[in-house]
Each structure stands twice: as C-alpha cells, then as structure tokens.
Amino acid sequence: MSDRTLPNVAAKTGVVSALLLSLLGLSGCGGAPADPIVDCEPSAGVTPYCGFVNPEDLAHFAPTGEIIVSQFASMDGSAPGSLASFLPGAPQPRILYPGEGLDRPEAGWGDANCPGPPGDQLAPHGIDLLTRPDGRHALLVVNHGGRESVEYFEVLGSQTHQLELRWRGCVDMPEGSYLNDLVGLADGGFWATHMFPSDAELSSLLKGMFGRNTGWVIEWRPGRGFAEIPGSRAAMPNGIEKSPDERYLYLNAYLGNEVRRIDVTTGEVLASADVPGPDNSTWSADGRLLVASHHGGIRQTLACQSLETGTCALAFSIQALDPEDLTATVLLEGEALPTGAVSVALEVDGQLWLGTFAGDRVARFPLPRPSPSGNPNQLDRGH
C-alpha cells in the first residue's frame, strides 16, 4: 500500500469549501464523516489496487490494454497532478505526463491560439478518449493548472509498444470558467461541464444546495468558438456523456441529484432520473450509462478534502441507466467496501474499474451478469 501523503483535493470544489464545511458543522447539517479506509485488502468482491493519487477519472486504451488515469490534485490549480497508465496486474501506475520531450504541438488539435503546453503545472480533472476521423487516438483533458483549459493529447501504443502520450494542443477557456468533465466530438470540438463561476464558489455551492442552477454545458467547435448548450443549466453540472451520433448529451447535476438526457438540437430534456450526487458517467458494453453516485451528505463529501492517507470512505453506488428513459439498476453498493468516494466506473472485459476523487486506489469489481430471462433490470451476481 502507498504511504505517500495525498494532496487536499477540496472534494469536488475549491479552497473555500473548508469554510462551507465549517458552516455545515455548526448548523449540524449532515452526519459525521467516516474514518478513511487505510488497508488495501479485498472484501465483498471488490479488489483494491493502491499506489495512486486521487484517480478521479479513467479511460481504457484497447490497443495496449492499459487504463489511463487522471490523478486529480486540486480544483484551484495550486497543486499539480499527472496522467498515468495502469495495466491490470502491474504493481504500480506509470506516469505518462508531465515528462521530457512529450510536448509536440500540431495543427488541428485544439485552438490555433493555444499559448503552449501546460508542462509541470498540469492539474487534470475529467478526461475523454476517442478515435478521430483520421484514425488517430485523442485524449482530451480538463486542466486547472496554470490556466483553465482543455488539453489535447495523442495516445500512441500497440500490442507490442506500451502506451505513450504526446501533447498536441489546447483550448483556453473563457474567463470565469470552472470545468469538471468533458466529451470530445468528431469534428475536434467538445462539450464540457462548467460547474459554476470560478470567482463565486461559496455562493454557488450554497445556491446549488437549494436546487438553484449554478452552471451549464459549454460547447467549443473549431472555427466557431464557444456556445452554451440549451437545456443544460443545472445545480453543479458534473459528469457528461454523449450518444454515439452526438444528438443527445447525458448530464449529471451533482447538487441537483439528477441525471438528464438532453436533445442538443432543441434543448429539450427528454428524460431525467433521480440519482443522489451523480459524479462521472461512462458507457457499458451493453449500452447502459454507468453513473457513480454519492450517498453521503454535502458535509461528508467536503470532509474528503482533509484526507492525508488511504481513501475517503464516502458511501457510493454504481447505477446503470437505460439510455432512453434513464430507469436505473444498482450494480454495486454497500458498507465495509475497500474503497469509497468513487467518482467513476469503467467497464473493461466484464470488470468494473472504480476510481476515486479522494484516495490512493482504484478498485476492481466483477460486473453482474444479466439474468437468464434476458431482462437487464434483473441481475445474476453469480452467487
């Protein structure tokens, strides 16, 4: 198990969350935070792999079999993080970026006005991996370090050559933007969740706790610039996914306890689901939306910022949502699990890999199989 000291990540917020935590404590809002999880032993079917630093988001690169890890450090960019890779079965993650000789800008990757690479200041958050129309693999990364930006990396690797990253470009975000997650688009653009104004964090969090909108989804397109996606205003937009044809986006409103399916051409909300504290989303192999859901109150969530070792024990579940009507099936939840504060669930070869925004581990859980009846809402857990 790693004995390194973890950076204070300020949960899903910035430095002023400590003030909000104090106010909540004085008001008695929410239960007391649980002690962190410090051992690294399997239990309840969940196997932890330690040695990470806040592996907030994950992406699978099939050509090498590796998992790309966004090692989250700080929302305000004051502490740098890194991008790493993890090969299931390997003893430790491998740092991909920052590193020497990896900055190789290229036209057609981000904005032509990108000021240059982030280098050692990189503070990654949400990531998205996609295949470009030219067949090359692009990793888009939300960055808080040195600037609020989306960084573009090319992902290289094959069955005979391990995964490597090359920085290719960026998009500087408008002043006041505060991003969380993103999805890349086929034309080289992206949709990204703007949580709330970067200079109004405390007031925005208080607004969001009372169900008021604090942010929206920002669209950037090459040659067209920035726009707001209609229908996306919500209480702290967090995770985001898209349909394969890019007609629909799936938006997680973290403080609104809601997941939405939005038609991006009209802004119409076609479906919504009540999901507590929905963080990141990914697609399962059978086409369902996998959502990491937080079950602790805001006080417990913010308390994760003081973590110094192990992993925050914030209660969570992994829910699989039907892509049309968003009806949910719970795949994993419970007490006494060897991980907590889970921010993402990624399916790889029938296994769920779990990341956390506050902790030293990823974890693996065998994905429950559909029941013999073929109804995906009835699961056979293999017991």
Cα separation of 70 and 145, whole Å? 13
Cα separation of 299 and 242, whole Å? 31
CA distances to 90, 108, 131, 158, 277 from 190, rounded to whole Å, are 32, 13, 13, 26, 24
Cα separation of 234 and 63, whole Å? 37
Higher pLDDT among residues 92 and 382, named by residue: 92
Going by pLDDT thresholds of 50, 70 and 90, the confidence category of residue 30 is low
Q: What is the mean pLDDT of residues 157-165?
A: 92
The string of pLDDT tens digits covering residues 270-286 is 999 999 999 999 999 99
- Whose tokens are 């110094």? That residue is 308
The string of pLDDT tens digits covering residues 43-77 is 999 999 999 999 999 999 999 999 999 999 988 88
The pLDDT of residue 306 is 81
Residue 71 Cα to chain centre, angstroms:
10
The pLDDT of residue 364 is 97
**Which residues, 6+ apart, have CB-to-CB distance to 191 below 8 Å?**
182, 183, 185, 217, 218, 219, 229, 240, 242, 249
Buried b (16+ CB within 10 A) or exposed e, 9-33: bbbbbbeebbebbeebeeeeebeeb
The pLDDT of residue 374 is 43
Going by pLDDT thresholds of 50, 70 and 90, the confidence category of residue 28 is very low
**Both structure tokens of 171:** 């998009």
Q: What is the pTM of this model?
A: 0.90
5 pLDDT higher than 70: no
The pLDDT of residue 184 is 98
Residue 154 Cα to chain centre, angstroms:
19
The string of pLDDT tens digits covering residues 137-154 is 999 999 999 999 999 999
Higher pLDDT among residues 208 and 303, named by residue: 303
Q: Please report, as a single letter, which amino acid is at residue 72.
A: F
Cα separation of 242 and 3, whole Å? 38
Half-sphere exposure of 213 (CA within 13 A, CB side): 9
Q: What is the mean pLDDT of residues 15-25?
A: 47
Lowest-pLDDT range of 39-43, 58-62, 379-383:
379-383
The pLDDT of residue 118 is 97
Mean pLDDT of the chain: 88
Higher pLDDT among residues 29 and 250, named by residue: 250
Q: What is the mean pLDDT of residues 128-132?
A: 97
Q: Which domains does the chain have, with CATH numbers?
A: 17-368 (2.120.10.30)
The string of pLDDT tens digits covering residues 182-235 is 999 999 999 999 999 888 777 777 877 778 899 999 999 999 999 999 999 999
| Percent of the chain's residues with pLDDT above 70 | 87
Buried b (16+ CB within 10 A) or exposed e, 212-235: ebbbbbbbbeeeeeeeebbbbbbb
